[in-house]
Amino acid sequence: MANTVISRTANCQFKRSRSIPNRAALWLVACFLLQFGCQALAQTAVPAQPTDQNEFLRLEVKPVSGGGELITIQAKVEDGRDSAPLWIPMVSVLRDTLGDSNPDNDRLRYLWALSYTRPTFWRRLTGAVPFLYTHAVKNPKPAKNPPPLIDLATVDQGVWEKLAWSALQAILLDPYGTPVRASTRAYRQNITDYRQSQIIQALSLLSLYQESGQPRAFTGGELKEIQARLLLTDKTFGGLVNQRKLPRFYEKENTKARDERGHNWELLRQQAEANNLIFEPLLMPDGSATHALLWIDKAELQSGAAARFDGRFLNFSNPWTDHRLQTWRGYSERRFFDTDQRPANPETPGATEVELIPLALYGLDNPKIPALLVDFRDGGNPRRREMSRRVLQDVTRNVLALSQFGDLPYFMGRSTLNFVTGKRGMDFNQPSRLKTYAQLKLLLSLNASLEPELRSGIRDRAGLVSLNPLESGDEAERRLAQDQYTALLNYAANPDGLPARVARDRRTEMVKLEHGQPARFMFRLANVLSLGRYTHSEKETADLNERLDVARQMAFHTNFLQEVAHSGLHPGKRPFSLAASPRLDVVWDLSEIRSSLRFLAEHGEAAGSKAATATAQIFSRTGDDDVRRDCLATLSQINNKKARTELTRIAQQPNLAQSWRDLTSLYLGGRRSTDPTLSSGTVSTPGQPDQH
């Protein structure tokens, strides 16, 4: 087995799009095969290749037998020492291709954060100890078959499992008293947080990858879908959200995150300015500032030129009156600033040298206020703030068994506290800084500009913020990622490993083609009641791949046509009036629409009611005769009641040109679209085939 490294130097783009011409696809396949044949299998972390110096992420694509590919994003990790940077595998995604080159029937399946593993028994045990907010067991063990973080194709399953667990907790475990309640809830919380922390790291990496301009192994839509699915994991019913809504959800969350980042950047800069401190944004390799450091000028400190100190939002003690800083023996840096106060080289004319002492480090991707992650004078400060919400929650819910839904005074008190601390931006009882901490770990790995001593100082102190006994340190996670990647590759290479799992998943996918709603409901129920242990699968058949191919393509084209049918309207909203439904011709490439309609027509028996509805909507929203004709032909081929209803509705539209109504009536009368008399000629009055 060979691997394929896609990098800038390889000049090989895996751009997945419906519009890729076949020739280009063939070229890509050829390129892939060439790489496949030429390069040796890398079973461990790939050492740095002689690549672009600015490159910080790269892709590795490995075929999986049975029709799939494992796409891995590797990051160039800097440890700040003299040694060369390492390429560490961070995230892998399995794409089930059904063994062909048609992107329309591909399906994204598993996503692995390679530093995520199943906790060992001892780790689980520490996770179940209430109020244990520290790492008790140092080194995690790599799993033989690394557990995926999420199965992108069956995200709804997670919702039901979560609900089942909650019910189990409330009905069976909570009544056993405080010790059982506290420990089981603590365990579940830690498990959830651990997974969430890994999800955030994966998200950060995918976001960096998206911004990096690296060769694409995912289409823009796929990337949005993956990220949206990951973002929705922290919402109870997130797995049930309609796939069509995902891009918009991702875009809105992205906007919100950037808004928060910008606000925090500016808030911190202004607070630094007001308190005469030095503000230094820390950049991810793509140039985005996700964290910031605050420094103090040692000379000013010693000269006693203390400014008034306003600690609001900074959340550390007054440095101007802190005697420890007067005799500071910790880390400091000498830097130069030019006359415009820009960081400068020593050779810059007029540059002045300043010795700076670091005070604090903040995460900027945080709601409302910058999240204090490191206080260089008081390591426990961020930790105490982080603990405040968790302790409140653990005491009230796990020990006192108070619930916001069942205890009105508690509900009122808690809501007031949440409102006041939230509105005022007090760093107490705030949402967890899990996200910024996870990002910081990534930043420390990828940012080469930090001095090694400072980097390790930050790493050590920031680790204190993590309250989860299941979490591991940076070094351990890095080793784990390398080991687990090796394990994953072995798993992928083993016919009884990943390929077998993919085959089983396909058989599971067949359930909806074989069974009706009631049977599927029962299978789902069995799955939920067994807490996910039982999943029904169909038997392997010779035509399984063929049937799946049609089903997946049908889903793809139906989704596309639904997107077309709803486009041009205010996103996320339905048309409230036909008069205000803009014509699709302005917005879409009609040949793409026709291509999808033709697929639906060719496989009409497999099309569902959604496809029929979308087709009818497209008919009403286009002025193009060919597309309209295709719509009617498609509706005539779709073998369900909905399609017939739509055809009837069209035939009865009084303001539709007579020729279109006649044609529709012919279809309703049993004529097939394959009838040559129906497939040519102009059926509308020239120029105005619209309803009016």
**Which residue reads 């619930």 in tokens?**
403
Judged by beta carbon, residue 99 or residue 568, the one nearer another protein is: 568
The answer to whether 19 contacts another protein (rule: CB under 8 A) is yes
Judged by beta carbon, residue 408 or residue 586, the one nearer another protein is: 586
| 675 in Cβ contact with 629 (< 8 Å) | no
Sign of the alpha-carbon dihedral angle for 641, 643, 644, 645: positive
Judged by beta carbon, residue 74 or residue 620, the one nearer another protein is: 620
Q: What string marks each residue from 171 to 210 as x (binds another protein by CB under 8 A) or -?
A: ----------------------------------------
Closest contact distance (angstroms) between CB of 341 and another protein is 4
3-state secondary structure of 108: strand
In the region spanning residues 378 to 437, those forming contacts with another protein, defined by CB under 8 A, are 420, 423-425
Stretch that binds another protein, among 111-119, 168-176, 189-197, 586-594 (CB under 8 A): 586-594
The answer to whether 568 contacts another protein (rule: CB under 8 A) is yes
The answer to whether 35 contacts another protein (rule: CB under 8 A) is no
**Which residue reads 């989860």 in tokens?**
468
Per DSSP, helices labelled H in 365-497 are: 380-393, 408-424, 434-446, 452-462, 474-493
Q: Which of 47, 177, 220, 330 binds another protein (CB under 8 A)?
A: 220
Judged by beta carbon, residue 265 or residue 619, the one nearer another protein is: 265
In the region spanning residues 223 to 242, those forming contacts with another protein, defined by CB under 8 A, are 232, 235-238, 240-242
Closest contact distance (angstroms) between CB of 222 and another protein is 12
Sign of the alpha-carbon dihedral angle for 231, 234, 239, 244: negative
Q: What string marks each residue from 285 to 324 as x (binds another protein by CB under 8 A) or -?
A: --x-------------------------------------
In the region spanning residues 72 to 131, those forming contacts with another protein, defined by CB under 8 A, are none
Q: Which of 353, 582, 626, 641 binds another protein (CB under 8 A)?
A: 582
The answer to whether 665 contacts another protein (rule: CB under 8 A) is no
Q: Which of 269, 414, 515, 603 binds another protein (CB under 8 A)?
A: 269
Rounded to whole angstroms, the Cα distance separating 358 from 598 reads 65
Judged by beta carbon, residue 670 or residue 686, the one nearer another protein is: 686
DSSP string, 206-263: HHHHHHHTPPPSS-HHHHHHHHHHHHHTTSTTGGGS-GGGHHHHHHHHHHHHHHHHHH
| 409 in Cβ contact with 452 (< 8 Å) | no
The answer to whether 217 contacts another protein (rule: CB under 8 A) is no
Q: What are the angstrom distances between the C-alpha of 397 and each of 205, 288, 389, 406?
A: 34, 38, 12, 11
Q: Which of 520, 583, 661, 671 binds another protein (CB under 8 A)?
A: 583
In the region spanning residues 486 to 545, those forming contacts with another protein, defined by CB under 8 A, are none
Closest contact distance (angstroms) between CB of 168 and another protein is 23
Please name the residues in contact with 517: beta carbons below 8 A apart, sequence gap of 6 or more: none
| 290 in Cβ contact with 364 (< 8 Å) | yes
The answer to whether 255 contacts another protein (rule: CB under 8 A) is yes
Q: Name the strand (E) or helix (H) holding 595.
A: helix 590-602
Rounded to whole angstroms, the Cα distance separating 551 from 202 reads 30
**Residue 524, amino acid:** R
Closest contact distance (angstroms) between CB of 534 and another protein is 27
Stretch that binds another protein, among 245-253, 326-334, 406-414, 657-665 (CB under 8 A): 245-253
- Number of residues located near another protein, criterion CB under 8 A: 66
C-beta atoms surrounding 585 within 10 Å: 14
Judged by beta carbon, residue 224 or residue 377, the one nearer another protein is: 224
Rounded to whole angstroms, the Cα distance separating 284 from 478 reads 18
Rounded to whole angstroms, the Cα distance separating 220 from 568 reads 20
Q: Which of 252, 384, 547, 603 binds another protein (CB under 8 A)?
A: 252
3-state secondary structure of 92: strand
Q: Which of 23, 323, 539, 692 binds another protein (CB under 8 A)?
A: 692
| 569 in Cβ contact with 575 (< 8 Å) | yes
Q: Which of 569, 594, 609, 645 binds another protein (CB under 8 A)?
A: 569
The answer to whether 574 contacts another protein (rule: CB under 8 A) is yes
Q: Which of 272, 301, 444, 663 binds another protein (CB under 8 A)?
A: 272
Closest contact distance (angstroms) between CB of 585 and another protein is 9
Stretch that binds another protein, among 25-33, 113-121, 201-209, 574-582 (CB under 8 A): 574-582
Rounded to whole angstroms, the Cα distance separating 87 from 594 reads 45
From the CA atom positions of the chain, what is the Rg in Å? Answer: 29
Q: What string marks each residue from 325 to 364 as x (binds another protein by CB under 8 A) or -?
A: ---------------xxxx---------------------
Q: Which of 23, 171, 573, 687 binds another protein (CB under 8 A)?
A: 573
Q: Characterize the bridge pairing of strands 352-363 and 4-6.
A: unpaired
The answer to whether 278 contacts another protein (rule: CB under 8 A) is yes
DSSP 396: I
Closest contact distance (angstroms) between CB of 135 and another protein is 34
| 502 in Cβ contact with 67 (< 8 Å) | yes
Residue 691's nearest CA partner among 617, 591, 586, 593 is 617
Calculate the dihedral angle through the C-alpha atoms of 412, 414, 420, 424, rounding to the nearest 10 degrees.
Answer: -160
- Tell me which residues touch another protein (CB under 8 A): 17, 19, 220-221, 232, 235-238, 240-242, 245, 249, 251-252, 254-255, 258-259, 262-263, 265-267, 269-270, 272-274, 276, 278-281, 287, 340-343, 368, 420, 423-425, 567-574, 576-577, 579-583, 586-589, 592, 692
